[in-house]
């Protein structure tokens, strides 16, 4: 966003930064939960919004070149693919009953 024009840096750039932060927080939140599905669905929406913002940025020519746009889009798409795999794993039951923390650490051992 360093190369964005002043107008786009404070509007579109701020939206992109905020969306990236929200996505990161959702990944952390999902990782800490036993039932990850609701948070992963929120993450899916956030990533779709980021994709739209990136396309808008390309349309208004905020990226210095196509390679910059392509790199940013590739990163978001890769995270979205990982999220879909995580969702699929949750829906198939792999992890549905798994604890966020290993059971030996979650319960105190008897002396």
Buried b / exposed e along 18-43 (16+ C-beta atoms within 10 A): ebbebbeebbeebeeeeebeebbebb
CA nearest neighbour of 45 among 23, 77, 12: 23
Stronger pLDDT, 33 or 103, i.e. the higher one: 33
How high is the mean pLDDT of the chain? 82
Confidence (pTM): 0.74
5-35 pLDDT, tens digit per residue, is 566 667 788 899 999 999 999 999 999 999 9
Cβ atoms within 10 Å, residue 107 = 10
Q: If you search the block for the tokens 């693919």, which residue do you land on?
A: 81
Query: How much is the average pLDDT of 38-50?
Result: 97
Residue 41 has pLDDT above 50, yes or no: yes
């Amino acid at each position: 966003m360093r190369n964005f024009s002043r107008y786009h840096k404070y509007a579109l750039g701020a939206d992109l930064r905020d969306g990236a932060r929200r996505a990161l927080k959702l990944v952390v939140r999902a990782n800490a939960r036993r039932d990850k599905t609701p948070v992963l669905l929120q993450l899916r929406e956030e990533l779709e919004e980021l994709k739209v913002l990136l396309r808008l940025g390309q349309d208004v020519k905020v990226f210095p070149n196509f390679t910059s746009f392509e790199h940013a889009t590739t990163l978001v798409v890769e995270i979205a693919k990982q999220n879909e795999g995580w969702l699929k794993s949750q829906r198939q039951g792999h992890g549905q009953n798994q604890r966020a923390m290993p059971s030996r650490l979650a319960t105190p051992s008897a002396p």
